[in-house]
Amino acid sequence: MDKHRHFIIHKPFGYLSQFINNQNRRRNKKLLGELLDFPEGTMAIGRLDEDSEGLLLLTTDGKVSMQVRSKKVEKEYHVQVDGEITDVALAQLRNGVEIATRGNKYKTLPSKAARLFPIPTHLPRSKRIRDERHGPTSWLSITITEGKFRQVRKMTAAVGFPTLRLIRVRIGNIHLNEMPPGKVIEVDKFTLTSENE
């Protein structure tokens, strides 16, 4: 059997984390296959929704996919939220908040959450974020070990600070660094230790 293949990509804003458009209403959506001619059987490990950006790992190996999605591997996000985040809201995020997932209430596991100073210098998004004239925004770092559907967005909304922009910057010890949106790097394997190991 051929050797499995692994890719690190910077998923741009507006792309779906899939290769096949299986929904008619999504006819004009951008898919990952537009970034590179990936081998058959390539899957995204843990999705980023259409409005989210950043680090996404792809593999042809289902076992690797399970390892990356495990709760042993941290996922860190830079999150721009609406409003000046408060210490109380940060404490709530760290302790876990109640969100809805698949119609049920769910309390998120404790996370790491902190204000980002200085503000990160991510490239502007293709669709503009509202500007400061509409009120202040804050940038946070949020690190979680689970990945419920739209979890980080639901977490910031639950504490009263809706997410305006969401960028995944780290999975385990793989960092986005200065990788530009749309860039694809093929690697021999993923080194999956968590930062705190």
Q: Rounded CA gap, 170 and 172, in Å?
A: 6
Across 24-133, the runs of DSSP E, i.e. the strands, are 30-31, 43-45, 53-59, 75-82, 98-101, 104-107, 112-115
The question of whether 37 is a catalytic residue gets the answer no
What does the chain come to in residues?
197
Token pair recorded at residue 40: 């058959």
Of the chain, the end-to-end C-alpha distance in Å amounts to 33
Catalytic hit among 37, 49, 61, 188: 49
Rounded Cα–Cα distance for residues 138 and 101 (Å) = 26
Say if CB 94 and CB 142 are below 8 A apart.
no
Task: Cite the beta strand spans of the chain per DSSP E.
Answer: 6-11, 15-16, 30-31, 43-45, 53-59, 75-82, 98-101, 104-107, 112-115, 137-144, 163-171, 174-175, 184-187
Residues acting as catalytic residues: 49
